[in-house]
Structure 1
Amino acid sequence: MDVLITGANRGIGAALKTGFAARGDKVFGTARGHEGFLELDVANPQAHRDLAAQLEGQALDVVVCNAGVYLDKGQSLADGYAPEMWAQSFAVNVTGVFLTIQALLPNLQMAASPRIAIISSQMASDTRAPGGSYIYRASKAAALNLGRNLAVDLKGQGIAVGIYHPGWVRTDMGGSTADISEQEAAEGLIARIDALSLETTGCFETWDGRAHPF
């Protein structure tokens, strides 16, 4: 398969890149300002146009929208959550996902069984709402909603969309006390992406294959 992963220079994205490549898939990884990666700032519309031009004519079987930020960790309701933080988070976590899919839609349309994987979070769930992290939760909920609606519109084009909670992963974002390693998360996510089809499009699943409540 030919796979493109955004935010592939570290964390889950890097583990996904390694996992796909290890089994022989051709992997395109994007990052901001890292040698050996396709240049992409997902919050920059021109960067998406440049990437699309660079990949013109290249079929993509899978696009993994992994790039994301968690800027409001530890913010106080009394005096935190600045408007600029909302804008930046949504530009990356929501608009960036949409722009990636929009820009690479022609590449997906060239593939036989194209799939889109959106890395969201259990923090997107309306039924799991313990409070706090308002910006991150809202942005991941928006990404979930985006994926669900794209699944409807793209089904007729033969493109399946899956939305995934990658687990609580030991990364810079997840912290050192998290439940699973980057490799475990990547192995599970790759299995979910392999299983994704038009019959399951619009699914919201955990890294280990459980349906997640919306």
Structure 2
Amino acid sequence: MHTVITGANRGIGQALDQRLRDLGHTVTGTARNEAEFLPLDVTSPDSQAAMAHALGAKPVDLLVCNAGVYLDKEQNLADGYPPEMWANSFDTNVTGVFLTVQSLLPNLQLSSAPKIAIISSQMGSDTRAPGGSYIYRASKAAALNLGRNLATDLKHIGIAVGVYHPGWVKTDMGGPNGDITVTEAANGLADRFQALSLDTTGCFETWDGRPHAF
């Protein structure tokens, strides 16, 4: 089983890379500037084209759209959240997901049972609105919406799409006070990817298998 993981050089992506290899997957991890990974800037059409060219006609059985940024942690409502921060966040967290799916759609169609897993967050759920982190929350809500609509459009060609909350994970992004380790998150997410099918396409689930409210 060939899996492509964006943002595989650190955090959840790195842990998923290791976990899926342990499960027998052939993993192609991507990163922007690290030699041991396939180069990919998810926001760049040219980089996307180069990545797709490098993969050639190799089937992709599972695409994990993991690359993401959280730029507005310390922003305040009075004078924070500058426009360029909105643009940069959406470029990576939303447009980057779409461009990656678009670039690898031919490779996914070469698989007998292709799947796309989008790492979103419960911070993008409309049912949770504790305030703050406006840009990150909005971008993850958009990624959730994107995944749901991709699930509708891709079902007829046999591609299942799932959207996942990885948990509050102890990473550089999640901070040291997270609830779970990257290993726990990766183990749970790997189980979710295994369970994903056309019957469950469009799901929004937590890392430990609970349906999440939209």
TM-score class, shorter: over 0.9
Please list every run of at least 4 consecutive aligned residues from structure 1 whose deviation after the TM superposition is greater than 4 angstroms: none
1:86 and 1:25 map into 2 onto residues whose CA distance is: 35
User: How far off its partner does 1:178 sit?
Assistant: 0.5
Question: What SS class does the counterpart of residue 107 from structure 1 fall into?
Answer: helix
Partner of 2:103: 103
Partner of 1:200: 200
User: How far off its partner does 1:39 sit?
Assistant: 0.1
1:134 and 1:23 map into 2 onto residues whose CA distance is: 37
2:100 and 2:93 map into 1 onto residues whose CA distance is: 11
User: How far off its partner does 1:202 sit?
Assistant: 0.2
User: How far off its partner does 1:23 sit?
Assistant: 1.9
Runs (5+) with no aligned partner, structure 2: none
Question: What SS class does the counterpart of residue 212 from structure 1 fall into?
Answer: coil
Could you report, residue by residue, the CA deviation over 1:95-153 in whole angstroms, capped at 9, with x for unpaired residues? Answer: 00000000000000000100000000000100111110000000000000000000000
Partner of 1:50: 50
1:191 and 1:108 map into 2 onto residues whose CA distance is: 20
Could you report, residue by residue, the CA deviation over 1:30-70 in whole angstroms, capped at 9, with x for unpaired residues? Answer: 00110110000111111001111111110010000000000
Partner of 2:188: 188
Opposite residue 3 of structure 1, the aligned amino acid is T
1:45 and 1:129 map into 2 onto residues whose CA distance is: 33
The within-5 A match list for 1:36-47 is 36-47=36-47
The within-5 A match list for 1:45-124 is 45-124=45-124
Question: What SS class does the counterpart of residue 169 from structure 1 fall into?
Answer: coil
Q: Does 1:150 align with 2:150?
A: yes
Question: What SS class does the counterpart of residue 157 from structure 2 fall into?
Answer: coil
2:166 and 2:23 map into 1 onto residues whose CA distance is: 20
Q: How many residues align?
A: 214
1:59 and 1:103 map into 2 onto residues whose CA distance is: 13
1:122 and 1:53 map into 2 onto residues whose CA distance is: 34
User: How far off its partner does 1:22 sit?
Assistant: 1.2
Opposite residue 123 of structure 2, the aligned amino acid is M
Question: What SS class does the counterpart of residue 204 from structure 1 fall into?
Answer: strand
2:66 and 2:25 map into 1 onto residues whose CA distance is: 18
Partner of 1:35: 35
1:136 and 1:62 map into 2 onto residues whose CA distance is: 25
1:97 and 1:184 map into 2 onto residues whose CA distance is: 24
Partner of 2:130: 130
2:88 and 2:105 map into 1 onto residues whose CA distance is: 24
Q: Does 1:14 align with 2:14?
A: yes
Opposite residue 117 of structure 2, the aligned amino acid is A
2:23 and 2:52 map into 1 onto residues whose CA distance is: 26
User: How far off its partner does 1:24 sit?
Assistant: 1.6
Question: What SS class does the counterpart of residue 163 from structure 1 fall into?
Answer: strand
Runs (5+) with no aligned partner, structure 1: none
Opposite residue 197 of structure 1, the aligned amino acid is S
